[in-house]
């Protein structure tokens, strides 16, 4: 078992910064790329990358990879996401009927990305694991913590403010599912609906309870740079070794470590025990070696996809 807390506490701060993740609480306004830039400039890094883009008006969990941890981005993408949001219905509908219609969108669905998306607009299959009503308000909408109302609602929908019903919901979806489009497609069935607010509360292993806002990031960095106090910064830096929560861990023999750091493939003698996993992370104790994929090439049992050296 890799001791993430120990690594977070004991690793030299410069090394930690260059191989870590910050679970940012994205506010409404900046783009996800804009958040990257803020974090990058604050820490003086050459590179940062975010996992799972959020629209400018959407708030919540946005993991930002730092330095060499950017090489791990692909392993953190593609995991389920959970959102809490508010949709405005354009017509009155019985709650029981609404729940029935929403459940028709749970499971495998076909979805075409919206016009303003960055991906190709072709129909694709996505899975909605749950879509539940938390509250229905006939008056003004209940606020989603940390979120602000979306301003990019089509003008023909804005007149519905006084007659519609605001529905606070929670949904867990496959990565790449567009919640705005999900609501719009529901609206076509029930007489109209659009999204008012949206907040991501979970992205894979990263959760809302562990997020930190950009103000606190800059505060922690300032304390470190000006007073040489690492305490706050260490608290918000999630070591890149957290990938051990994503992929299975295989213990590596230390004997050939220098060669492994140059990209040497793994032979049976390099691994402690039998190799059963198709893709895994290699560790020597709490020291991360690399990400490997299993192969059958004579004596070679695995090749590196990424090596930390």
CA distance 290 to 246: 13
Reduced to 3 DSSP states, what percent helix, strand and coil does the chain have, rounded to the nearest 5?
30, 35, 35
Contact present, 62 and 39 (Cβ < 8 Å): no
Query: Is 152 marked active-site?
Result: no
| Count of CB atoms situated within 10 Å of the CB of 58 | 23
How does DSSP assign 183-199, residue by residue?
Answer: HHHHHHHHT-EEEEEEE
Contact present, 96 and 62 (Cβ < 8 Å): no
Out of 55, 94, 137, 185, pick the active-site residue: 55
Contact present, 145 and 195 (Cβ < 8 Å): no
CA contacts within 13 A on the Cβ side of 71: 14
CA distance 131 to 143: 18
Cα 268 versus chain centre, distance: 35
CA distance 106 to 139: 27
Q: Of 185, 112, 188, 184, which Cα lies nearest the Cα of 153?
A: 184
Catalytic (active-site) positions: 55
């Amino acid at each position: 078992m890799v001791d993430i807390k120990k690594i977070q506490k004991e690793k030299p701060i410069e090394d930690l910064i260059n191989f870590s993740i910050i679970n940012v609480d994205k506010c409404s306004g900046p783009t996800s790329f804009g958040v990257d830039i803020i974090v990058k400039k604050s820490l003086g890094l050459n590179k940062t990358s975010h996992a799972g883009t959020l629209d400018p008006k959407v708030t919540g969990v946005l993991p930002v990879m730092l330095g060499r941890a950017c090489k791990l981005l692909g392993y953190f993408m593609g995991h389920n996401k959970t959102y809490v949001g508010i949709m405005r219905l354009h017509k009155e509908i019985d709650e029981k009927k609404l729940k029935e219609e929403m459940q028709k969108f749970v499971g495998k669905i076909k979805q075409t990305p919206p016009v303003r998306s960055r991906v190709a607009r072709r129909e694709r299959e996505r899975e909605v694991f749950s879509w539940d009503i938390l509250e229905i308000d006939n008056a003004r909408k209940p606020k989603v913590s940390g979120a602000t109302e979306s301003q990019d609602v089509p003008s023909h929908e804005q007149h519905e403010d006084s007659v519609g019903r605001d529905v606070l919901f929670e949904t867990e979806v496959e990565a790449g599912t567009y919640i705005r489009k999900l609501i719009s497609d529901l609206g076509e069935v029930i007489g109209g609906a659009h999204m008012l607010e949206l907040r991501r509360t979970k992205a894979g292993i990263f959760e809302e309870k562990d997020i930190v806002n950009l103000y606190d990031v800059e505060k922690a960095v300032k304390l470190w740079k000006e007073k040489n106090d690492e305490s706050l910064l260490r608290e918000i830096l999630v070591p890149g070794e957290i990938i051990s929560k994503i992929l299975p861990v295989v213990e590596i023999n230390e004997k050939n470590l220098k060669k492994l750091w140059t990209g040497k493939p793994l032979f049976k003698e390099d691994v402690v025990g039998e190799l059963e996993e198709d893709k895994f992370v290699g560790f020597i104790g709490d020291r991360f070696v690399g990400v490997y994929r299993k192969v059958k090439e004579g004596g070679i049992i695995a090749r590196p996809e990424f090596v930390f050296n």
